[in-house]
Structure 1
Amino acid sequence: MNAPAKAADPQIAHPDIIVRRIPFKFDEGIDPVWNSARPEWSHMVNGASLTMPYLEPFLIKTVREALAQVDDAQLKSDVDGFIGQEGAHYRNHRRYNDILKRVCPELSEVEDMLTADYAKFQKRSLKWRLAYTAGFETMTIGMTEWLIRQRATLFAGSDSNVASLVLWHMVEETEHKNVAYDLYQHLYSDYLGRSWGLIVGSFHVAWMSRKGYKRLLKREGRWGKLRSRLALYAMVARFVVHASPAMLRALVPGYHPAKVSDPKWVQLWADAYGDLPDGAIPLLDTNDPEIPAQFAA
């Protein structure tokens, strides 16, 4: 039996969740190694991008189904914003992934696995699926902190289209970081279930991303080279070091995503985007080592 639904906590801040339907475009000849100084990192991001058109529709279906059981007006509004943002994310990633697959057709094998996994997950209970959703969204808080705070290291000198896509995605993950957690708590408020969802959601997406970047590295002949493998493991270690604190915080009783301070750059990005006309593509100046929040002319 579900726990009684809880009303939204009036003391928890509810930031605006703005649905920005940005039509990112990618040159058909774009180099999958979009950061020439960090090819292994480039493919780690490519592997994660490959999962988005399968992961995010699953998240959307889950919260939409849960929404039918919600009568809290604030939470309903937040869930609507979550759905709009996640929909825009996966459509842009799909356009980029289509180009990657022309370079590396083996990526379709991973897409088939993702299709099968999420079809299987869809048969699970709503509580399980919502725990997965809330768990994955919690992990992205740590990933966002890392990508934004170390953007100079990870994105400087890279292809502006890919860097801008990824960092836009992270900004919006920050804007809706409370939603899946609040929805799970509203319907179930089950600490153990949410903790299990954090582990399952995070590691499933990381594992499927690995299947993607492994194929890309094999295609380029890097997978079997010790130097490349060590560079890859160093980047994976950085991810673990920076994502783990967010996951550990989430296991502490009394945790709420709203208590996590956002990088200041997130608000600077949002302020800069507000001055752009509708339909404009906000491309960051990756030639500036600091990658400021304002967009390249």
Structure 2
Amino acid sequence: MSASATPEGVSVEPRHVHFDVDDELKTLWHGNDVFRTAFMNALSLQFPDGEQQFINSVRLYRDQITDPKLKQEVRGFIGQEALHSREHKHYNDGLKARGYDIDAIDARFRKHMDWVARLPASRQLAGTCAAEHYTAVLANGILKHPEWLADATPRMRELWRWHAIEETEHKSVAFDVYRQCIGNEKLRKLVFVFVTWNFFKFTFLNTCTLLRAEGKLWSLRTWLGGLNFLWGKPGVLRKSLPEFFEYFRTGFHPWDQDNRDLLEKNLGELKAGYVEAKAKAV
């Protein structure tokens, strides 16, 4: 029996794409809404260092993997995450043009990631599984609920959809490595609690830092709009919360939510968009 639980028809392969979003990042690209733009940018600010740590934690167990399918998926996982880290590094560099102190934000998060890198290997991999669950749930939401990014510029919308597609494709790779090499359910759930705290802490801090730079940190109207975005309509966190907590279920696996149909639909639309964009360029 294969150690990989990635379903048939799902390929974990990196796509060598690049999104030139420098012009978009000089604007409030999400419908000219300062909170929605800041929230999405706040997520991006965690990706370059965070995804490099995901790669490092899986590499710590790479030599213990004997299953050919899982070994191939680990290679694909590393390739996809490396490209995500690269694209979001470009993304975050682009935010500097709007006057944000990205270096200070990076330093704050990097201090935390340096601490994570000193943890025992089992806790690092458990942390990657937990963080990958958050990215997988949010990715599913982006693919399932196009209204989350309906007001975004087309290029930014496609960047986030590309990232969501690949996060969905490899959502169980680190988990399958953990299950084969460690398999400690208590540790998996415990580490998820700490990752939950840190994920929301840094997203909140980053959002506040960006809003402060926009002069909107103490704007009641901005925060009411943000609360509606997250908990009202479209309700990004409200709709994600049940799936977040599924991680605490004993025997949980990321592909218990089989969203291959959603993945196939969005992948087809993304490819069609590339073809159309190339045709216009010619």
- Give the TM-score of the pair, scaled to structure 2: 0.89
Cα offset for 1:158?
1.9
1:93, 1:33 → 2: CA distance? 17
Structure 1 residue corresponding to 2:56, chosen from 49, 58, 61: 61
Match of 1:291 in 2: none
Structure 2 residue corresponding to 1:270, chosen from 245, 267, 275: 267
Match of 1:3 in 2: none
Match of 2:35 in 1: 40
1:11, 1:21 → 2: CA distance? 25
**Aligned positions, number:** 276
SS of residue paired to 2:28: coil
SS of residue paired to 1:68: helix
1:226, 1:243 → 2: CA distance? 25
1:42, 1:139 → 2: CA distance? 19
Cα offset for 1:128?
0.4
1:184, 1:137 → 2: CA distance? 12
1:127, 1:72 → 2: CA distance? 20
2:91, 2:64 → 1: CA distance? 35
The residue correspondences of 1:124-135 to structure 2 (distance < 5 A) are: 124-135=119-130
1:244, 1:296 → 2: CA distance? 40
Return 5+ residue gaps in structure 1 as ranges: 1-6, 284-294
Match of 2:166 in 1: 172
- Once the two structures are superposed, residues 123-170 of structure 1 have per-residue CA deviations (whole angstroms, 9 ceiling, x without a partner) of 10010000000011112232122222221x222242122111111101
Structure 2 residue corresponding to 1:81, chosen from 76, 79, 95: 76
Matched AA of 1:251? F
Match of 2:251 in 1: 254
The residue correspondences of 1:60-209 to structure 2 (distance < 5 A) are: 60-151=55-146, 153-209=147-203
Cα offset for 1:245?
1.5
Contact 2:45 2:88 (C-alpha < 8 Å) held by counterparts: yes
2:218, 2:180 → 1: CA distance? 48
Q: CA RMSD in A?
A: 2.4
Contact 2:51 2:85 (C-alpha < 8 Å) held by counterparts: yes
Cα offset for 1:233?
2.4
2:32, 2:73 → 1: CA distance? 39
The alignment status of 1:222 with 2:230, answered yes or no, reads no
Contact 1:54 1:115 (C-alpha < 8 Å) held by counterparts: yes
Matched AA of 2:89? R
Matched AA of 1:122? A
1:296, 1:206 → 2: CA distance? 40
The alignment status of 1:242 with 2:236, answered yes or no, reads no
Distance 1:114 1:12, change over 3 A: closer
Matched AA of 2:182? Y
- Identity within the alignment, %: 23
